[in-house]
C-alpha cells in the first residue's frame, strides 16, 4: 500500500502558482500510489459547495482524474467543505481525528488545530465556527455576503496571530500525549502549524512518533508511506 499525506495548501484564486504546483504534484507524485490524504486547509477559504468558482472546478477536475483514492479532512480554513464537493471530486470526507493502519502500526490522522489548546482564544472561536448554528446561518446567505464575512474573519485571525507568542500557536505537548494515549496509537500525522518535522513522543505503552506536514509556499514537506516505511519528503516547486 502506497500512500501520500499532504496538508495546508491554502489554495487561493490569487495564488495561481499554488494551483499549478498542486496539479504538478499530482502528476509527479500521485500516479502510482493507492491513496492520497489531504489533511485540512486545502483551500484558503471555502464559502460552500455551491461556489462554482474556476479554482474549485479546476481542483475537482484534477482530483477526479486521479487513479488513486482521495481522502479529505477539514481544516480551520475550509471546514465547510461538504459531500457535494467531495462526490464531484471523487473523494471521501474524513472525520477529525481519523484512525488508520500504516504498515502494521495504528496511526491517527488530524488537521492539528484541536491540539493547540494553549491558544484559548482560538479554541473558543473554533467552537463557534464549527457549530451547526453558525454554519447553517452562514450558508443561508448570498455568496457575496459569505465572501465578505469570510474575509473579515480571516483578516481578524491574521491580525491576532501576529500578536501571539509562537509557542501558543503550536501544539500543546500534553494534548498530543493525551490524544495518542487515548487512541492507543504510536503514530500521529497532522498539519496546521506549518512546522514540518518528525517528533518522538513518550507514551504510556512505549515510544511514539509525530509527523508534522508542511504548508505550501515555495516548497512543502509531505509524508510518503510505503507499507510501514514512513518518510517526510521535501517537495520544491
Q: Is residue 3 scored above 80 in pLDDT?
A: yes
Task: Kindly report, residue by residue over 95-132, the tens digit of the pLDDT.
Answer: 999 999 998 899 999 999 999 999 999 999 999 999 99
Number of domains in the chain: 1
88: number of Cβ within 10 Å:
16
CB 91 within 8 A of CB 63: yes
CB 135 within 8 A of CB 46: no
* Residue from 111, 116, 112, 130 nearest 38 by CA: 111
* pLDDT of the residue at 158: 84
Cell of 237: 516547486
Domain of 87 in residue numbering reads as 2-236
Q: Tell me how far CA of residue 131 lies from CA of 41, 124, 137, 145, 228, in angstroms.
A: 18, 11, 10, 19, 37
* pLDDT of the residue at 97: 98
* pLDDT of the residue at 170: 94
* Residue from 219, 217, 213 nearest 237 by CA: 219
* pLDDT of the residue at 217: 87
Q: Is residue 218 scored above 90 in pLDDT?
A: no
* Residue from 179, 184, 207, 35 nearest 106 by CA: 184
CATH code, 137: 3.60.21.10
Mean pLDDT of 179-197: 97
Q: Could you tell me which residue, 165 or 111, shows the higher pLDDT?
A: 111
What is the layout of strands, in order, in the sheet containing 219-226? 91-94, 69-73, 35-39, 2-6, 219-226, 229-236
pLDDT band at 154 (very low <50, low <70, confident <90, very high): confident
* pLDDT of the residue at 156: 86
Task: Kindly report, residue by residue over 85-105, the tens digit of the pLDDT.
Answer: 999 999 999 999 999 999 889
CB 45 within 8 A of CB 154: yes
**What is the rounded CA–CA span in Å between residue 6 and residue 11?**
13
**2, burial (CB in 10 Å: exposed 0-12, middle 13-18, buried 19+):** middle
**What is the rounded CA–CA span in Å between residue 99 and residue 108?**
4
Task: Kindly report, residue by residue over 24-69, the tens digit of the pLDDT.
Answer: 999 999 999 999 999 999 999 999 999 999 999 999 999 999 999 9
Amino acid at each position: 500500500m502506497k500512500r501520500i499525506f499532504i496538508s495546508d495548501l491554502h489554495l487561493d484564486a490569487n495564488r495561481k502558482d499554488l494551483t499549478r504546483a498542486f496539479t504538478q504534484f499530482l502528476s509527479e507524485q500521485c500516479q502510482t500510489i493507492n491513496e492520497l490524504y489531504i489533511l485540512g486547509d486545502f483551500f484558503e477559504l471555502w464559502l460552500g459547495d455551491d461556489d462554482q468558482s474556476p479554482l474549485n472546478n479546476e481542483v475537482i477536475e484534477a482530483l477526479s482524474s486521479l487513479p488513486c483514492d482521495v481522502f479529505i479532512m477539514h481544516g480551520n480554513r475550509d471546514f465547510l467543505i461538504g459531500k457535494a464537493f467531495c462526490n464531484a471530486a471523487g473523494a471521501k470526507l474524513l472525520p477529525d481525528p481519523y484512525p488508520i493502519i500504516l504498515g502494521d502500526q495504528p496511526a491517527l490522522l488530524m488537521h492539528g488545530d484541536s491540539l493547540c489548546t494553549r491558544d484559548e482564544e482560538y479554541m473558543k472561536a473554533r467552537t463557534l465556527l464549527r457549530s451547526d448554528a453558525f454554519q447553517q446561518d452562514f450558508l443561508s446567505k448570498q455568496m457575496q455576503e459569505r465572501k465578505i464575512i469570510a474575509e473579515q474573519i480571516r483578516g481578524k485571525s491574521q491580525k491576532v496571530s501576529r500578536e501571539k507568542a509562537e509557542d501558543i500557536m503550536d501544539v500543546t505537548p500534553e494534548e498530543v500525549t493525551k490524544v495518542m494515549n487515548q487512541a492507543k496509537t504510536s503514530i500521529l500525522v497532522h498539519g496546521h502549524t506549518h512546522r514540518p518535522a518528525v517528533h518522538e513522543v513518550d507514551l504510556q505503552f512505549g515510544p511514539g512518533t509525530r509527523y508534522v506536514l508542511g504548508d505550501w509556499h515555495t516548497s512543502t514537506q509531505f509524508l510518503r508511506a510505503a507499507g510501514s516505511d514512513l518518510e517526510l519528503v521535501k517537495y520544491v516547486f
